[in-house]
Chain A
Amino acid sequence: MSLIEIDNLSVTFDTAGRRVRAVQEVSIKVDAKASFGLVGESGSGKSTILRAICGLAPITGGQVRIGGEVVKSPRSKAFSAQVQMVFQDPYASLHPRHTIDRTLSEPLAIHGIPDTDTRVMTALADVGLPTSFRFRYPHQLSGGQRQRVAIARALMLKPQILLLDEPTSALDASVQAEVLNLLARLRDERGLTFLMVSHDLAVIDHMCDRVLVMQHGRAVEELSREALATAQMQTDYARSLFAASADRMLGG
């Protein structure tokens, strides 16, 4: 049994009288402690899958199972202790009027977990931020530092699964490297399972064991990391996506 099982997931939005089929019958299986990548261009529905898993988008067809259990709507507190998400834009994902301390202690308060002080300090240290940042506001931090706070927040409840929605695409290349290194280290230390969305094949390749290429809300092709590195795709779309990322190849 895989930790994350998505069967024929469909997500349809009704907006202004128009039906938008954002995701159509996509199936994914991710084993515990594995990392799975979703890649595609804007509008391919890759982020919507993450949002559907955690209840931010409606599941209109199919099933999402975490640890063999079908997720309930609305999601339970037990679910939030198991699955957490890191958002794309670190400038939009932290409450602008809450200090870092408040942001990090909020999940503890919701779940009634004691020892707020020590846990917040440890969390900051874990993501490589000085503890003196504790009472700063988000606007006093750089983009990379904010994303570290967002990662720390996601890990406050010690979840097994981290959903990563383009966690580095808003960051500079050198900062991206630091954040990717941090995510890889935390994954090894805590045995986390990643489901990661990115438009950058190189980032996906660096982080994930398997990758699903998506287009227009449908799954196009699932590739192993080896198949990606050796350009063994079967479909034209996956190949064109790969060709457009050719300058991301080793030695390219």
Chain B
Amino acid sequence: MTLTEWLRDPNPTSRLQSRMAQSYLSWLRMKRNKLAMIGLLITVALVLMAIFAPMLAPYDPITQNLQERLQPPLTSGHWLGTDDFGRDIWTRILYGSRITLYIVLLVILTAPVFGLLVGTVAGYFGGWVDQVLMRITDIFLAFPKLILALALVAVLGPGMVNAVLAIAITSWPPYARVARAETLTVRNSDYIAAVKLQGAGPMRVIWGHVMPMCLPSVIIRVTLDMAGVILTAAGLGFLGLGVQPPVPEWGLMISAGRKFLFEQWWVATMPGLAIFIVSLGFNLLGDGLRDVLDPRSAGR
């Protein structure tokens, strides 16, 4: 039996097989969306770049070489040029992708999980629990994201972990909102009533039955928000409140290149392009995921 046959078997013989078959169908649906595939390609490229940075990079990202400072793009050995300390920009972008991915991963592991928890609990219980949790959410939403992040970093002190913390704290409220809205539509459905009738407690219902229904919308939202997270991280780096030099962070690189923007445009433009491409990749992927994961289109 080939893999495709195994995946297309109408009568799966294990949980694993049926889950894989569903994923396979989603993959087929996703494959038809060309833009989403481009997005996926960019995201995969980012991951590969981050993993294999030491092998792909021709130079060291930190060692300075003042003889070769501010070389324009396409000079031999530096196809994206060098910065004001003579460091190869391609190398620094490669290593910078590690930082970007690290921030993205940490934010994904914290903000949506917390938002999902707050949203589902608020939506499921309703009443005063809902009131309290959602008013807290509103308070966080009332501040502009970057300003709140700035304030937090100012209090906590600059650095990558604090930057991630600040971003996570400012970006969970939308996930709570999405999860709550989704929970409200699911809460009164017959399948939730059925599991309650079997004697399931609230935690079991929320965890096993409500959350799977909220997950798709939250995942879509997360993917679409990734561009914003990358930009916020870069913004904090640019303002000197995120990662500290000489670590190659894309926002920090733009900030450093600002001084030569008119004469040596590439120093700021190359990391800018990197941010642009990766943000675009996440956006395209999120849009494609919406078509695949949206509960309203699933199962048809």
A interface list, Cβ under 8 A from B: 54-56, 75-77, 79-81, 83-85, 87-89, 92-99, 101-102, 106-107, 110-111, 130, 132-133, 135-140, 150, 153, 156-157
Alpha-carbon gap, A18 to B15, bound state (A): 47
- A87: nearest residue on chain B (CB-CB)? B190
Interface contact B298-A96, CB-CB below 8 Å: yes
Chain B residues in 8 Å Cβ range of A110: 198-200, 204
Q: Is B213 an interface residue (CB 8 A)?
A: yes
A101 lies within 8 A of B191 (CB):
no
Query: In the bound complex, do residue B17 and residue A92 qualify as a contact, i.e. CB atoms below 8 Å apart?
Result: no
Say yes or no for B75: interface residue by CB 8 A criterion.
Answer: no
User: With A and B bound together, what is the CA distance between A90 and B199 in angstroms?
Assistant: 20
Q: Which residues of A contact B197 (CB under 8 A)?
A: 54-56, 75, 80, 83-85
- Stretch touching chain A among B5-13, B92-100, B118-126, B164-172: B5-13
B212 in the interface (beta carbon within 8 A): yes
CB distance from B27 to the nearest CB of A (A): 16
CA distance A89 to B191 in the complex (A): 10
Cβ-based interface call for B127 (8 A)? no
Interface centre among B198, B200, B204 (most CB of A within 10 A): B198
**Chain A residues near B295 (CB-CB < 8 A):** 96
Complex-state Cα separation, A98 to B204, whole angstroms:
14
User: Who on chain B is nearest to A133 by CB?
Assistant: B11
Q: Contact at A139–B193, with CB atoms within 8 Å?
A: no
**In the complex, chain A residues whose CB is within 8 Å of the CB of B13:** 132, 135
Q: Let me know if A77 and B18 touch, CB within 8 A.
A: no
Given A93-B190, A94-B191, A101-B15, are A107 and B198 neighbors across the interface (CB < 8 Å)?
yes
Q: State whether B299 touches A96 (Cβ < 8 A).
A: yes
Decide yes or no whether B14 CB sits under 8 A from chain A: yes
Which B residues are CB-close (under 8 A) to A140?
Answer: 10
Name the B residues within 8 Å of A87 (CB-CB): 190, 193-194
**Given A135-B12, A135-B14, A136-B11; A97-B212 close (CB under 8 Å):** yes
Q: Is B135 an interface residue (CB 8 A)?
A: no
Given A55-B196, A85-B194, A96-B298, 19 additional A-B pairs, CB 8 A: A55-B197, A81-B199, A92-B189, A95-B212, A96-B299, A99-B15, A101-B15, A102-B15, A106-B200, A106-B208, A107-B199, A110-B198, A135-B13, A135-B14, A136-B18, A138-B299, A139-B299, A153-B198, A156-B198
Contact between A56 and B193, CB atoms less than 8 A apart: yes
Docked pose: A135 CA to B167 CA in angstroms: 41
User: Knowing A132-B11, A135-B13, A136-B12 touch, does A111 contact B299 (C-beta < 8 A)?
Assistant: no
CB distance from A94 to the nearest CB of B (A): 6
A83 to B194, CA, bound (A): 12
B63 interfacial contact with A, CB 8 Å: no
Compute how far the CA of A105 lies from the CA of B193 in the bound complex, rounded to whole angstroms.
16
